[in-house]
Structure 1
Amino acid sequence: MGKTMKPLLAVLVALAAVALAACSGTAADRTKIRIGEVTRSIFYAPQYVAISQGFFKDEGLDVELTTTAGGDKTMTALLSGAIDVALVGSETSIYVNQQGSGDPVINFAQVTQTDGTFLVSRKKIDKFDWSMLKGSTFLGQRKGGMPQMAGEFTLKKKGIDPQKDLKLIQNVDFANIPAAFASGTGDYVQMFEPQATVIEKEGKGFVIASFGVESGQLPYTVFMSKKSFIDKNSKSIQKFTNAVYKAQRWVAEKPVDDITAALMPFFADTDKEIVKAVVKRYKDQASFATDPIVDEKEWNNLQDVMQAAGELQQRADYGKLVNNTFAQKAIETVKK
C-alpha cells in the first residue's frame, strides 16, 4: 500500500467510526426515562427484552429501571416525580382517578394481558375440581391488589364464596407468602412465579390451576405516566412505545430458550431452568401482550373484577385514562 493511501484509509476508518457512533448514540445523546416496576418478575419479560436487546437504545432512549416494590409505592414514586413511567397494574390508575387527581395517570402501553398467579395445592391432585377448595384454608393475596381481586373473581365464578366457604388468610406480606406456605400455612395458595415453580420443584406443592386463564384477559400490567409528563414528552413516549412493541413481537416470535437467555441478566440469582419453565408457562397461556393496545373490552373486564371485589366506587372512563395513540402509531410504523 502506498504512503499516500495509509493516511486516507485512516481518515475513512475514523469517519466510519464517527458515523457508527452517531447511529447508535452515546448515553449522553439519548433521552433518559426513569421506569419504576412494581416488582421484579419474569411476568414482565417484554420489558427486560426491550432493555437487553437494545430496543430502547435503538429508539434513542436511556432507561433507568428501579424496582419500587408494591403498587402504592410505585404510584407514589410516579406522582411525586421520582420516576417518569410506571409498570404496574391498571387498577392503580383507577384508584388515583377515584381520589380526584387533577393530573390523571394515563395507561399507554400494555405489557401483560392476564393475571399472573397460579393455584398451588399442598397435595398432588390428579382430578382437580374447584369445589375441593370449600372448607379449606386458603392463603390469598393482599386485599385490594389485582392478584387478590382476580383470585376472588375466579372463586366466585366457580361458585365459591371466599368469605364464607374458605378460611381466607390475607394478612401475609406478598414477599412472605411462599415461605408461609412452605412452612405449613394453608391447604392452597395463590402464588406468583417463579415461586410457584420453585415450590413445585422442591416437592412442597403442586400447580393445579391458573387464575390468569380463569379470570380472562385484562390490562393486568401496563406502562403508564402522568398526563402532564406525556403531554410534555410525547416524542419520548412514542419512542418508548415503539421499543415496547418491538420487544413484544420479539417475545412472540422467539423460542423459549432465546427469551430465557435475554432475561437471565435480570434474574442472575434464579436457576436458568426455573426461568425457562416460567417463561414457557406464561407464553403458553398467552400472558404476554402481543401489542401495546389497551383494549376496551379488557378494560371493562378489569372493572368487572374490581367491582366484584368491592374496590370500585364508580366505573372509570376508558377514554380518560387510556391513550392508545402511541400504541397504534407503533403498530403502524415499526418495521416488520
Structure 2
Amino acid sequence: MKGLRIALSILLSFALIAALAACGGSKTEKVRIAEVTRSIFYAPQYVAIEKGFFEEEGLEVELTTTWGGDKTMTTLLADGADVALVGSETSIYVYAQGSNDPIINFAQLTQTDGTFLVSREKLDNFTWDDLKGSTFLGQRKGGMPQMAGEFALKKHGIDPQNDLNLIQNVDFANIPSAFASGTGEFVQLFEPQASIFEAEGIGYIVASFGEESGHLPYTTFMAKESYLKENPETAEKFTRALYKAQQWVENNPASETAKVILPYFEDTSVELIETVVDRYKSQGSFATDPILDQEEWDNLQNIMDTAGELPQYVEYDTLVNTTIAEEVMEE
C-alpha cells in the first residue's frame, strides 16, 4: 500500500505541474534582433530592453550588432535573426532581386536621417558652398546615409560627383578613425561619434542631414513575410513593447533616457549621451509611434531615385505592413 501511495503521489505531482504549466505559464519567446549599428539614434530600442517592456510582453530579446546594411540583411535572409533593424531601402533592394519571401517593414524606429556634417575646421559662418572643392568622406554607396547626404548636397546646388572629392571606399565601421587620422576635410557621421569629435576638437558639427532630408523610414524593424505570418502574436508583442518605449522617450527628459541607455555606450559619458538624445529629439528623429506612413515611403524612394540607386518603384502596401502597429496603438 505504501508503494501505491508513493506512486499516486508522484502522479498527482506531475498532474499538478502540467496543470500549472498549462494555466499559469506564459512561455517566454526569444526574438533575435540584428541591428545595423550601435547608436544613440536607436535609443527607444535600448529603452524597451532596459525598462523591461519586451519582458512584460513575454519576450526575451537577443540583440546583435551586425555593422552595415549588407551584413544585417544577409543575417536576416540566412535566418541568423528574426528581426532586423536597418534602413528600409534594404527591403527594396531585396525585393528588386526577386525574393520569394519579401522583407516587410512592420515598425518604424527613426524617421529622419541620423547623420551630421562634421568639418575638420571650426567654421563660424558655414554655408554649403564651403564643401565645393573639398574632400568629403562619405558613407557607403547605396546606403541610406550616403543617399540622404547626396540629396542634401544636391538640394544646395552641389554635385557630389563633380563639385567635391567624394570618398566612399572606407568601411562603415572605419569612417571615424579614417577622419581622425587625417582623411577628408568634411565627414558624414552618426552620433555619438560626431559629438565626441567635437568635444575632442577633432571636428565640428556644422549641419544636420536629418533636418535637410525630411521625414523618411530611416531605420525600421523588418522581418521576412513568412515570419510575420507564422508569428503574428510575437510581432504584436514586439511592436507593443516598442511603442511603450517610444512614448517613454517622448515623455521623459533626455537626461532620463541617457541614464537608461548608458550600459550600451560604456565609453561615452552620460552627459554626452544626454546631449545627443536631446539633439535627436529636438529635430524629431525618434518616431513617436511605430507607423511608417505613405509620405515617408514616397520620400525614401524619391531620395533613392535622386541618388540613382532606386532599382524599381515599389508600392507602399507591397513592403509595408502597418496593421500590427495600428492595432497596438488602438488598444
Structure 2 partner of 1:241: 239
Instruction: Write the deviation string for residues 184-225 of structure 1: whole angstroms up to 9, x where unpaired.
Output: 211111111111001100011110100000011100000000
| Worse-matched range after superposition: 313-322 or 174-183 | 174-183
Q: Does 1:306 align with 2:304?
A: yes
Correspondent of 2:149 among 151, 156, 166: 151
Q: Name the structure 1 match of 2:112.
A: 114
Map of 2:34 onto structure 1? 36
2:67 touches 2:172 (CA, 8 Å); kept in 1? no
2:10: which partner in 1?
Answer: none
Cα shift at 1:153: 0.6
> Over residues 135-158 of structure 1, what are the superposed CA-to-partner deviations in whole Å (9 max), with x where a residue is unaligned?
111111111111000000100010
Looking at structure 2, the residues matched to 88 and 316 of structure 1 have their Cα atoms a distance apart, in angstroms, of: 18
Aligned mates of 2:237, 2:229 — CA distance in 1: 14
2:265 paired residue number: 267
Q: Which residue of 1 aligns with 2:185?
A: 187
Alpha-carbon distance in structure 2 between the residues aligned to 1:156 and 1:269: 36
Task: Give the superposition deviation at 1:315.
Answer: 0.7
Aligned partners of 2:256 and 2:136: how far apart in 1?
A: 36
Which residue of 2 is the match for residue 84 of structure 1? 82
Give, in angstroms, the shift of residue 292 of structure 1. Answer: 0.3
Aligned-partner residue type, residue 99 of structure 1:
Q
Q: Tell me the TM-score normalized by structure 2.
A: 0.91
What is the aligned counterpart of 2:48 among 44, 47, 50?
50
Instruction: Give the whole-Å Cα distance in 2 for the aligned partners of 1:131 and 1:105.
Output: 39
Which letter maps to 1:271? S
Query: What does 1:152-171 align with in structure 2 at a 5 Å threshold?
Result: 152-171=150-169
Unaligned runs of 5+ in 1: 1-18
Q: Which residue of 2 is the match for residue 280 of structure 1?
A: 278
Among 175, 195, 198, the residue aligned to 2:196: 198
Report the counterpart of residue 72 of structure 1 in structure 2.
70
Specify the alignment match of 1:125 in structure 2: 123
For the residue of structure 2 that corresponds to 1:131, the secondary structure is helix
How far has the Cα of 1:69 moved from its partner? 1.5
Query: How far apart, CA to CA, are the structure 2 residues paired with 1:30 and 1:299?
Result: 34
Counterpart for residue 9 of structure 1: none
Query: How far has the Cα of 1:43 moved from its partner?
Result: 0.5
- C-alpha deviation, 1:271, in angstroms: 2.0
Identify which range, 90-99 or 270-279, moves more after superposition: 270-279
SS for the counterpart of 2:220 is: strand
Residue 142 (1) aligns with residue 140 (2): yes
The 8 Å contact of residues 179 and 187 in structure 2, kept in 1 or not, is answered as yes
After the TM superposition, which parts of structure 1 deviate over 3 Å for at least 4 consecutive aligned residues?
none
1:228, 1:259 → 2: CA distance? 34
State the superposition RMSD in angstroms.
1.4
Determine what percentage of the aligned residue pairs are the same residue.
65
Question: Unaligned regions of 5+ residues in structure 2, if any?
Answer: 1-19
Deviation readout 1:205-257 (Å, 9 max, x if unpaired): 11010000001110000000000000010011011000000000000000011
State the distance in 1 between where 2:90 and 2:190 align: 19
TM-score (norm 1): 0.90
Secondary structure at the aligned position of 2:312 is classed as: coil
Aligned partner letter, 1:277: T
Distance 1:33 1:204 in 2: 39
Higher mean alpha-carbon deviation, 173-182 vs 202-211, is at: 173-182
How many corresponding residue pairs? 310
Q: Supply the distance in 2 between the matched residues of 1:74 and 1:173 (Cα, whole angstroms).
A: 14
Rounded Cα–Cα distance in structure 1 between residues aligned with 2:116 and 2:150: 13
Structure 1 position 131, deviation (Å)? 1.1
SS at match of 1:35: strand
Name the stretch that deviates more: 271-280 or 224-233: 271-280
User: Any idea what the Cα deviations from partners look like across 1:74-115, whole Å, max 9, x if unmatched?
Assistant: 111111111101011000000000000010000000000000
Q: In structure 2, how many angstroms separate the alpha carbons of the residues matched to 1:178 and 1:273?
A: 21
Please give the alpha-carbon distance, in whole angstroms, between the structure 2 residues aligned to 1:234 and 1:322: 15
- Kindly state the Cα deviation for residue 175 of structure 1 after the two structures are TM-superposed: 1.5
Instruction: Select the residue among 254, 257, 261 that pairs with 1:256.
Output: 254
Query: Which amino acid in structure 2 is aligned with residue 259 of structure 1?
Result: T
Question: What is the alpha-carbon distance in structure 2 between the residues aligned to residue 242 and residue 183 of structure 1?
Answer: 44
